[in-house]
Amino acid sequence: MLDAGAPGAQDDLRGEDTMSWTAGPLIGFDTETTGVDVHGDRIVTAALVRRDPGGRTTARSWLLDPGVAIPAEASAIHGITTEHARAHGRAPAQALEEIAGEIARALALGTPVVAFNASFDLSILDAELSRHGLPRLAERLGRDVGPVVDPLVLDRAVARFRRGKRRLGDLCTVYGVVAGSAGLHTADVDVVATLGVLDAIVDQHPHLARFELAELHHYQAAAHEEWAVGFNAWRAEQGYEGAGASIAWPYYAVA
């Protein structure tokens, strides 16, 4: 059973905040993609939203031409068609370098990256960087990637027995977070909603604010592993085939 108070910190992941990591700065990250395979699919849009102490936010977003056709089912979710991406999207290598550079600079300063289901977004980013011959995040940092804060992992840890799905929209409903007027599934709107869900989780579970960032990072890694082991055991009992959920967090190993 996971001990929510276990330290397990590593100094090289500690932020410089002397109060609580919740005071900021934070940098939110989200992607919209051609699909859900982190190894084979491509990033179509990405957004980074920085929230400074005091609550001021600055946002940056990217539209990429992924170099492959965007499936209709993916376009139906995020609204970007192959034609639009080809006409208006940027070359992937240039955009990916900018995205990874901003994330790496933030992490190097101890600023946590906040991402909902971080293992998807960080893994597909790593795969894309590798695909285009660019340094991965760990190579840029010279160490493991962190600190990362994942509201999905935190919600599973603090509300283990709540029934229902845990997609971003579901947790917005659970925690009373209002998404933008255009709804979810644009990267910048999803980042703002993710930060709102994180705030609500911490408000309801204030012990999370007392973690050092390194402690919180490793707490989430342990929480995710515990969830994945239980989920995979349930899958096996139900007779499902396939690999199931990876125990790795905040990203999978990408070949």
Tell me if 243 is assigned to some domain: no
Q: What DSSP letter does each residue of 84-142 carry, written as one string? A: HHHHHPBPHHHHHHHHHHHHHHHHHTTPPEE-TTHHHHHHHHHHHHHHTT---HHHHHT
Q: Band the pLDDT of 181: cuts 50, 70, 90.
A: low
Which helix (H) or strand (E) covers residue 162, if one does?
A: none
- Element containing residue 206 per DSSP (H, E): none
Find the domain containing 220 and state its range.
Answer: 11-237
What 8-state DSSP symbol labels residue 210?
A: G
User: What pTM did the predictor assign?
Assistant: 0.89
Q: Is residue 195 part of a domain?
A: yes
Q: DSSP labels for 16-56?
A: S-SS-GGGS-EEEEEEEES-S-TTT--EEEEEEEEE-TTS-
Report pLDDT for 182.
56
3 in a domain, yes or no?
A: no
The per-residue pLDDT for range 38-85, each reduced to its tens digit, is 999 999 999 999 999 989 999 999 999 999 999 999 999 999 999 999
User: How many domains in the chain?
Assistant: 1
Residue 206 CB partners (closer than 8 Å, separation 6+): none
Answer yes or no: is 106 within a domain. Answer: yes
CATH of the domain at 105: 3.30.420.10
- Of the pLDDT bands very low, low, confident and very high (cuts 50, 70, 90), residue 236 is very high
The answer as to whether 245 is a domain residue is no
The pLDDT > 90 percentage for the chain reads 84
Instruction: Confirm if 184 and 208 have CB atoms less than 8 A apart.
Output: no
| Range in 88-102, 126-140, 181-195, 209-223 with the lowest mean pLDDT | 181-195
Burial (CB count <10 Å: 0-12, 13-18, 19+), residue 83: exposed
Looking at the DSSP bridge assignments, the partners of residue 149 are 114
Residue 18, Cβ neighbours under 10 Å: how many? 6
- Is residue 250 situated within a structural domain? no
What is the structure's pLDDT at 8? 38
C-alpha distance from residue 137 to each of 79, 115, 184, 196 (Å) = 28, 15, 27, 26
Q: Pick from 193, 181, 194, 186: which is nearest to 154 by CA? A: 194
Tell whether 210 is covered by a domain.
yes
Q: Which helix (H) or strand (E) holds 58?
A: strand 57-63
Sheet holding 26-33, edge to edge: 57-63, 43-51, 26-33, 113-114, 148-149
Q: Residue 118 burial (CB < 10 Å; 0-12/13-18/19+)? A: buried
Six token digits for residue 166:
């845990």
